[in-house]
Amino acid sequence: MYEQLAKSIGEKVALTTEEFELCKTFFIPKKIRKKQTLLLEGDVCTYNAFIEKGVLRSYTIDDKGNEHIVQFGFEGWWVTDLSSYLTGANSIYTIEAIEDSELLLLTASAREELMIQIPAFERYQRLLLQNAYIALQTRVNSALNATAEEKYLNLTASYPTIIARVPQHMVASYLGLTPETLSRVRKQISLRK
Amino acid sequence: MYEQLAKSIGEKVALTTEEFELCKTFFIPKKIRKKQTLLLEGDVCTYNAFIEKGVLRSYTIDDKGNEHIVQFGFEGWWVTDLSSYLTGANSIYTIEAIEDSELLLLTASAREELMIQIPAFERYQRLLLQNAYIALQTRVNSALNATAEEKYLNLTASYPTIIARVPQHMVASYLGLTPETLSRVRKQISLRK
DNA sequence: AAATAAAATTGATTTAGATCAATGCCATTT
DNA sequence: AAATGGCATTGATCTAAATCAATTTTATTT
């Protein structure tokens, strides 16, 4: 149940066996079925979820009722609404399982305590955040300046996992395109080779 | 010279006077004139710059020769290309002063050393990064899903400083709009009230 | 396996914003 | 004060992507 977590931490910092055993005790394992939600818009996001198995997405719904996917999560990724999780504000996002999933939940206070008891864990969290920030910067760039086709090609290059495991209309939503546009973009690309 | 830095750190964590004195020694003060660059595209970003005074911007230039502003920085903000700074990769950004500015530069190794010697500084860095991440997430949302007018109104609401201190065509670039479109959007808004 | 629902594709039309082009407006510099 | 060059504004036109609509394909449920 903790294989992915061990792997994820191990890639960034070194924990002793005892430290990792201690670490485990702070997490709450949870299974969640496809289409079930971990967080509902309007609620406070009480957990940071590490994904041992499965796929999740977080999304907002705008005034016109359109869904906008903000983030996907796969095995070995963390998913949360950081803003709500850290400040306790009501979330504007819904987090939902796309496939049956196994999660390890960490409350904000458990996370604080873990970072105090195991300094390497604070380091791990900071490194994760750095990477997430860099990835997000790339995404802003693509969102602002790329054409529909470029957005799609950038995504296939950077995150083939997303293309492979997520329904096409969700990929479209993640890229800020309509499903029709993404379908046409894919057709264009396939015709060219 | 270190007023803004003291203020910025003080808002997030508590340092003793000795700690802050030690902290100062890790920084390299640097004055930079309007239009001078701190980082040139293709170079490695060796510094994380804290802005004591002035305004900076970072931008990329795409294949068609168009500038895309990625980030602005004002007094009390940090500016760098995090990806290049942390990994040593060549940067795709240029960082340039929009006004005469006073900076406090921190190399990556100085930063590492500081985080080891003063744990509260690592905490400070993590908190900064959290806030930056949350802000960036909002920006992605706006970039993907908002109309030109919404993008502009969001920005005026969240960062009036940017509107006030930065030339309009740079604001347009930051929002992913042409200067013409931003001009028209502003006109529309002013006609309505 | 049949029925139903959801997803993807394709076509026709519309539209927000880009592009192209010209003019007026400040702000430096001389 | 005149001259220069970068900005902002305004108008006309174009275009990438959205919207609307229908059909086919693929998943789910019964």
pLDDT value at position B193? 67
Q: Give residue-wise pLDDT tens across range B25-68.
A: 999 999 999 999 999 999 999 999 999 999 999 999 887 778 99
Is the separation of the CB atoms in A79 and A37 below 8 Å?
Answer: no
pLDDT value at position A56? 97
SS3 B78: strand
pTM for this prediction = 0.93
The CB-side HSE value for A109 (13 A sphere, CA atoms) comes to 1
Domains of chain B, by residue range, sit at 3-117
Give, in Å, how far the C1' of C17 lies from the CA of B160.
Answer: 24
Residue A125 to residue B126, Cβ atoms within 8 A? yes
Nearest CA in chain A to B137: A136
Q: Which two tokens stand for residue B190?
A: 């002013």
Residue B148 beta carbon within 7 A of nucleic strand C: yes
Return mean pLDDT, chain A.
95
Strand C close residues, chain A 117-176, CB < 7 angstroms:
167-169
Q: Give residue-wise pLDDT tens across range A23-37.
A: 999 999 999 999 999
Give, in Å, how far the C1' of D29 lies from the CA of A144.
Answer: 41
* CA-only gyration radius of chain A, Å: 18
How close does chain A come to B142, measured CA to CA in Å? 9
Nearest CA in chain A to B84: A134
Q: Is B145 on the interface with A (CB under 8 A)?
A: yes
- Looking at strand C, which nucleotides approach a protein CB closer than 7 A? 7-12, 16-21
Place of tokens 């979820």: A49
Partners of residue B51 on adjacent β-strands: B103
pLDDT value at position A193? 67
DSSP string, B99-141: S-EEEEEEEHHHHHHHHHH-HHHHHHHHHHHHHHHHHHHHHHH
Which positions of chain A have pLDDT values less than 70?
193
Q: Is A123 on the interface with B (CB under 8 A)?
A: yes
Q: Which DSSP letter does residue B98 get? A: S
Q: Give residue-wise pLDDT tens across range B113-169.
A: 999 999 999 899 989 999 999 999 999 999 999 999 999 999 999 999 999 999 999
Residue B71 has pLDDT above 70, yes or no: yes
Greatest Cα pair distance, chain A, in angstroms, is 57
Strand D close residues, chain A 140-169, CB < 7 angstroms:
147-149
Instruction: Find the CB nearest A82 among B119, B130, B145.
Output: B130
